[in-house]
Structure 1
């Protein structure tokens, strides 16, 4: 556990290495957070929920608890989320020192020996940190993407596959009663439980993700001008926000902003940074639908959690050019499902303040599955339930089609 703790904490700092102190303070929209806030908040989590169990630990900056609490109302008030980018103090170096102090304290705590309950909270903290590693990348991408200079986070440009995407096929899924949810082995968040049975009707899922070329056909066909394709709230959003294309596509529809700066769009790579509204409208235009999360998990459960994930250091979706069966189930882009984010039958949140982690957000959000090119490999699994409101699109979000049979 100690080595894993150190490795995960170090990776967060490594992801910030290309950033200046000015970069790390930027908050480009209320849903995003400055990089330095991510570093401080994940440290606060260990201080508040792990080191608070160590009777000998005393916080060096107790007033920072207000600054770096996110949404844990039961442990005290917090700074307003949309105003995190106004916090010029403490500075980046102070936050680095804060991380080092807390890391040393947690390491010493582990070396002295901790009980199983404390180990479980540390594991939750590490999983929480891995979530914020993905957010570090997507939030800085958004910050750089609204900068007129369109600066690059990295000089490493994602490579394009020369060959075409694998032909689109629909593969029939399991029918009847199937079990979904966490099976009980290894870590899982509380919202992945309990494992339960669902009834699946005749259906099929696409063998791969929707590509940029396929989505471009939707754009060129006037998909953003046809209200009959859109949910009512989606159409209102399209008109209000004047959406005409996926986030980060440039007006020429031939290039897009990436973490490597503006690059030519790979027509065979998965379309990314589309909202639930856009995914649903595209599926309707294509004569298909989005999969339910139960259909998705039933198809993914037997597959290894491997793919174009954060560890591959591409940080951009890549084409699926060959292979049998379901491709790209893990990595590349989070896949919107047709399922609202609600509790499973018999769901019980964690006890105490940590019960605020997932359950209280089960309203007005939609489930995504499979991870993205910014998700750490060891963080993803078949039962993992991500969730966002239907208008969100700054994450690596894409589309897999489904259909009834």
Structure 2
């Protein structure tokens, strides 16, 4: 992919995710101003993921039909609208409806952006490119809360205004400088014309097809485990170590910061030594070890080491799995990335609900189950890998006997 175009696309995604990160910690204070309960507050977070679960594949399909740029443009515009309209919410139901509409409007942003990256990179370098795009997203999300803390003294609504403005600032850059990759697809991607014959509903069914189901399951599982981590690590640290807000923030920063650094600086070297499947297996092993360290941490240092391991593991698994999905050639990149975003959203819906429920029985239970889920994903990876080897061997034997 053209370096200038990649940097510009990364800058756009960074600003967008910074806006999202600004708002995330402030949302509880807005909910408090409207006198909402904890359950209502949770529903505001979950409804965002539900709306993206439903609409991301639709936007992905649209990106295959009309091009990536229009969907990216509308998605970023939707991001801005999603935050600014919250200024007009006067009660819970208005806030819930506006969150749902905002998520639906903006859910095409990531499928379109990742489709552009996939369209314009060769298979051998795609994992690195997607990893860097993921790192940019993570960096934006990491910077957002810090910026939100600086802005919050101006009023509870100030971060929402800034978040909306950050999204709108990127719109001229998209219009003027981002080219639609669908118009310049490589020979690997150009079979979009053939893929158009695959209906939307048949595209959805690809989630269950051999070569896809295992990768989508990894996306779902790793998201489910991670959402339990992000939702409950603070409560766990308070319950076990009587941790201060500073320590809790540091734990989040350790996990997210490690992921960003690895995706930016180390993955390129990792891919020189191991193929995508091996990197995924190693990442899942490290992630499971991280959750175990957190679950059974005898001291705060062990918990921070667990956070570092989970950040490292996620940075290996997520971009590699996404790249493997993009290398499949049976449906358009848009719907492929849309379904990936959808499965990620499904994990973010179920994870906090499951983690919150099981936390009431044992404070370490959410992290133990996250470790178990990650190990099951590792088992699936080994199973599908062995199945592929057997298929290739049988194919080779048939060809040999035929000749």
TM-score by length of 2: 0.28
* RCO higher in structure (CA 8 A, sep ≥6): 2
TM-score by length of 1: 0.28
Normalized per residue, which structure has more helix? 2
Normalized per residue, which structure has more strand? 1
